[in-house]
Structure 1
């Protein structure tokens, strides 16, 4: 996915809506910024399971989520 954004006079950028939606970014989320050669890489800071549980509340069957994670780890 490729999109454009401008740097403001305060050196801020706006992350395009299509990218925010795809990554599930929300106001207040933290991004990690790193430099690779001449490229600026932005990536969401990974959340802990506890933070995710608090954010989503009771909308999720956590036993299923934890079981799925264990299965994926065992595949590696």
Structure 2
């Protein structure tokens, strides 16, 4: 069992053995839910595709990605 402390900013640290076991990396997004009296963390799954760096991206691809992101934010 691992124990973590809530800071004055209401933040917690995920213990190293848990991060390693689940492969959680810095910058990764986690979804937080309540299940009864438990706080449950899950990897956040992005529905929209992400642009890959290291290749040429056309202005059309950028526009399309922006439009898809805006639609996702608006719930459409």
- Taking structure 2 as the reference length, what is the TM-score of the superposition? 0.57
Q: Which runs of 5+ in 1 are unaligned?
A: 55-76
Number of positions where the alignment pairs a residue of Structure 1 with one of Structure 2: 51
- Taking structure 1 as the reference length, what is the TM-score of the superposition? 0.57
User: Which stretches of structure 1, 4 residues or longer, exceed 3 Å deviation after superposition?
Assistant: none
Compute the RMSD of aligned alpha carbons.
2.2
Q: Which has the larger radius of gyration?
A: 2
Q: 1:49-76: CA deviations, max 9, x gaps?
A: x76x98xxxxxxxxxxxxxxxxxxxxxx
Aligned to 1:30: 29
Q: Which runs of 5+ in 2 are unaligned?
A: 54-76
Higher helix share: 1
**Secondary structure at 1:3's aligned position in 2?**
coil
